[in-house]
Amino acid sequence: MTALWTSAEIAAAVAGAASAEFAVGGVAFDSREIGPGDLFVAMKGEATDGHRFIDQAFASGATGAITSQAVDHPHILTADTMVALEALGTAARARTAARIVGVTGSVGKTGTKEALALALERSAPGRVHRSVKSYNNHTGVPLSLSRMPADTRFGVFEMGMNHEGELAALTRMVRPHVAIVTAIAPAHQAFFASVEAIADAKGEIFQGLEPGGTAIVPFDSPHRDRLIAAARPYAGTILTFGLGEGADVRAVEAVPAANGGTLVTAHLPGGELGFTISQPGMHWVSNAMAVIAAVEVVGGDLAAAGLALAEMPGLKGRGARHRIAIDGGSALLIDESYNANPASMVATIRQLGRESADRRLVVLGAMRELGEASDRFHAEIAAPIEEANVDFALLVGPEMAALATRLEGSVDFAHVPDAATALEALSEMLQPGDAVLIKGSNSIGLARVVDALAGGTD
C-alpha cells in the first residue's frame, strides 16, 4: 500500500529534521484517534500538551510524530507543531491535481459536504477525499488537507468560522476550484454585529478560489446579492442555486417520495435532471441543488450523483432516523442533536410537521452563541412549533425560558435543566406511533439522549 507520507516528505514540507526514516498512512493530533501506521502531531494547546501523549500514540500504532522537542520515538523535529500541521496541509494541497470544492454556510455545510462527497464517489471510486466529522476550523482544515492522498481526484472540504477573517485564512489554504455557501443565518450572532456581517464573513470563502474558479451562491437568500458581490472579484463564474424562479440550478418540481424523501426535477443550465433525495425536507432539496451544481462544474457524473443522493443515509446528529421499539410498537426518533441555530430549528420542526404520526414531540436544546438577541430567537421558535402541530415540547437548558413563556397556553411543554433530566422525562412519555425530533446545540449534550434511546436500533 502506498504511503500517505514518508518521513523525508514530511520533513521537507514542514522544514523539520527527521530522527529516523518512516512512512505513515494517516495523520491525527488526538492520541485517541491514532491507528496503526499513523503520524501523530503533538500539538500544544491552552489546556494540554500533545507531547504528554507521545508514548500513548506509539502504543496505539503510530509510526512517526511531529514534535517540537526530541522524543524517544521516530519523529520530525520542528519549532512549532501547529505551524508544521499547516505546512503539511499546504503541501498536500500543492502536490495533488484533484478538483477541490470548499463548503461553508450557517446551516447545511456538513450535510452538503457529505452528500457531495458521496455523489462524486460514484465518478471516482476510492479517489474522493473529504474532511471528516466537522473538522472545519483552524486545526481541522489543515488536518483534513494533510490526510489527502496525492492521487485524489476530488476533494471536498468544509470550512467554518465564528469570527471575521477566519474563513479567509482557511480558504487560501484549501484553494478550492469551487466554493459553496449553503445559507446565511444568525449562527454565532454573539460574535457579529448583524446577519449582514455574517454574510460578509461567509463570503470570505471566495477569496481562496483558484483562477477561473466557480462561486455557488444561494439564490433564495436575502443576502444573495451581497454574496455575489463578494464573489465577483475572485470567481470566473458565479452560479446560483435554490428553489426560486431565476436560480441557475433550481428545483422546478419537488414531490414527497414514498420513503420519506423527495422526488426532484432540477433545472440546470444544460438541461434537466430527475432524481430522488433520501433525506426529507425542503432544506435538503435546496442543499441538493448546490451539490448538483458542484458535481457538474468539477466534471462528475450527474446521473450517478442522483443515485448517490437517493441512497444517502442519515447522518448521526444531522437527520439520522431511528425506529425505537416501545410496548409492541415503535416510535420514530429524528436525530438532529449535533447543532442548532434559528434557521435549522425552523427547518427541522417544519419537517416534523409533515411526518405521519399519532403524536409529534420535540426535545429542543438551547441555541448557543446568539448574543443579546438570544431570548428573541428562542421565543420565535414558538411559531413553527405551533404550525407543525407539535403535541408536546420538552425544552432543555436555561436559554429556553423565553420559548417556554411564549408557549404558555398554546402547546403542552416541560422545561428541564439538562440532558439527563430530558432523557428521564422522554423515556417516561414515549408511546408507540410517536415521532420525536431531538435538536439543540452540541454543548447541551442531547446526543446522549439519542444514544440512550436509539442504541441498537435500525
| Predicted TM-score of the model (pTM) | 0.85
Per-residue pLDDT tens for 130-170?
998 778 899 999 999 999 999 999 999 999 988 889 999 99
Residue 15 pLDDT > 90, yes or no? yes
| pLDDT (0 to 100) of residue 456 | 45
Domain ranges of the chain: 5-79, 96-311, 320-454
* Side-chain-side CA neighbours of residue 237 (13 Å): 16
pLDDT band for position 385 (50/70/90)?
very high
Least confident of 82-86, 92-96, 338-342: 338-342
pLDDT for 107 equals 87
CATH number for the segment(s) 5-79: 3.40.1390.10
**pLDDT level of residue 457 (50, 70, 90 thresholds):** very low
Q: How many CB atoms neighbour CB 259 within 10 A? A: 10
pLDDT reported for residue 327: 87
Residue whose C-alpha cell is 439538562: 418
- For residue 355, pLDDT beyond 60: yes
Q: CA 430: distance to chain centroid?
A: 29
Q: Stretch 290-317: mean pLDDT, rounded?
A: 94
pLDDT for residue 1: 58
Residue type, 248: D
Furthest-apart CA atoms within the chain: distance in Å? 71
pLDDT band at residue 398 under the 50/70/90 scheme: very high
Q: 458: buried, middle or exposed (CB in 10 Å: 19+, 13-18, 0-12)?
A: exposed
- As a whole number, mean pLDDT of residues 343-352 equals 91
Query: What is each CA distance from 287 to 22, 50, 111, 164, 280, in whole angstroms?
Result: 42, 38, 8, 24, 11
pLDDT at 68 over 70: yes
Contact 204, 174 (CB under 8 A): no
Confidence at residue 48, expressed as pLDDT on a 0 to 100 scale: 86
Query: What is the pLDDT confidence band of residue 458, given thresholds at 50, 70 and 90?
Result: very low
**What's the CA gap between 303 and 294, in Å, rounded?**
13
Look up the CATH superfamily of 320-454: Mur ligase, C-terminal domain (3.90.190.20)
Q: Does the 96-311 domain belong in CATH 3.40.1190.10? A: yes
Q: What is the pLDDT of residue 189?
A: 63
Q: Quick one: pLDDT band at residue 188, thresholds 50, 70, 90?
A: low
Segment 51-62, tens digit of pLDDT:
999 999 999 999
Average pLDDT, the chain: 94
Q: 168 vs 111, 199, 247, 376, CA distance in Å? A: 22, 13, 26, 31
For the segment 27-56, the average pLDDT, to the nearest whole number, is 94
